Chains A and B, each alone.
Chain A
Amino acid sequence: MGYERLLKEELRVLNIGLENFYIALVQQNVKVVNVRPRQRRKIERELEEALEKLL
């Protein structure tokens, strides 16, 4: 599928990551499905470790 069809067809979105962006698309009545990433707990740990280094 080329980019041209993106501008011509109805938008259909696969959201992978932040639920916030999924909700925003639902609010706009966009066809969207959400993928809850695997290893989320591991990702959270890594993010928190990075923040701990900053603070």
Chain B
Amino acid sequence: MLTILFDGVAYGMVLFVLACGLSVTLGLMNFVNLAHGAFAMAGGYVAVTLVNRHDAPFLLTLPLAFLVPAAIGLVLERTLYRHLYTRSHLDQVLFSIGLVFMSVAAVDYVMGSQQQIIRLPGWLQGRIDIAGVGVGRYRAFVILICAALAVTLQVVLARTRFGAQLRAAVDDARVARGLGVEVSRIFALTFAVGSGLAGLGGALGAEILGLDPHFPLKFMIYFLIVVTVGGVSSITGPFLAALLLGIADVAGKYYVPGAGGFVIYTVMIALLILRPHGLFARAR
């Protein structure tokens, strides 16, 4: 039982890292980027390719799994996305679906449609015993990394100048500009970091979530749920939402294999109707 809980926590942690970038772009910048999963997929494929084909050490690939999608994100933001911030949500949806279709087909073409299995180093394989509970080493590793990331993000957003500027830019871009905040630079940087985190999540999650060219479509709804349920007022909301979703999904698949999807989708719809700003959002 505790093992399932543990697996669920690891799953949820990965979901959080995957989705937190989206919670900023969608939640704060109000941009519907359904292609968020494509950046995650990019990170996953970077890691898998380096480890499996070039024998790179797993740990070394993680920074690259962050940097490559971040760079792609930055370029796309500067060239394409930024033209669409003021457009209707429908336009944003169409545009990002277009990107998803392109990325799915391109990855399929280059890498093939099969599921990618990442070769983990020996020290991350197998299980260890913590207080009598069998725990996957890799999952423990993932939890540690993701927890560290979550704390870092919280600190960056709450304590640093960058965080303050981002919050100001999101709150009222015009006023922020008047105060000398370079709004477009902040947005670009945020978008890049969000994409990078998604990539990192994709790399860490390759083992847990699976990785194939349909990744962006398969997990789109999960990211959206994390953001919707978590709300956008802080990092804590999406974090708790991701944990809940992870545990519910893993436990659901284990105990009631029939009902898992129902519960999750129903909860999402109900929340959207009853609490459009998210479960953990404070009423403004």
| Co-assembled chains A and B | no
Which A positions have Cβ atoms within 8 angstroms of B?
none
Which B positions have Cβ atoms within 8 angstroms of A?
none
